[in-house]
Copies of this chain bind each other. A is one copy, B any other.
């Protein structure tokens, strides 16, 4: 457990999607701290990938990231994947398994906690919410099966508040 920077989140509230994070800087800082703790360099490429994700409202695929970065200077997917690996280790980017895409997050994720990713099937946005109940449920299931849990993937497909309203209107 390297010293994690305790930056607390603000993305709270109903229907508030994982919006274009205004505090890209804070996320960069988080990644930088992680790098420092491991004595690894926080390189240009890593910063660029994180910045693209942090500015985006919804998950992007590795190739979408590649395309955006390539506008300024030609980049290859493998470079993006490398940066994504790092950023995921740092905990500031998650992979959405159901969509094979990636998004930045500025929450602290504590070990033993379970975070639910709510993915809107209309607009594609992702909201995250920690859930103790889910954590307990996972823990219980694992215990009962003699299973040693490492990390959970909890994704909930559905329709976000905003899209529901829009349709109602």
A: which residues have CB within 8 A of B? 13-15, 97-98, 114, 116, 118, 120-121, 127, 129, 131-138, 140-142, 144-161, 164
Number of identical protomers:
2
- Looking at the assembled complex, report how far the CB atom of A120 sits from the nearest CB atom of chain B, in whole angstroms: 8
Asked whether, in the complex, the Cβ of A142 is within 8 Å of the Cβ of B155, the reply is no
CB contact under 8 A between A131 and B127, given known A146-B15, A151-B157:
no
Asked whether, in the complex, the Cβ of A13 is within 8 Å of the Cβ of B146, the reply is yes
Q: List 30 A-B contacts (CB under 8 A).
A: A13-B145, A15-B145, A15-B146, A97-B153, A98-B153, A114-B137, A116-B138, A118-B145, A118-B147, A129-B144, A129-B145, A131-B140, A133-B136, A133-B137, A134-B134, A134-B137, A134-B138, A136-B137, A138-B154, A138-B156, A147-B156, A147-B158, A147-B159, A147-B160, A147-B161, A148-B164, A149-B156, A150-B159, A151-B158, A153-B154
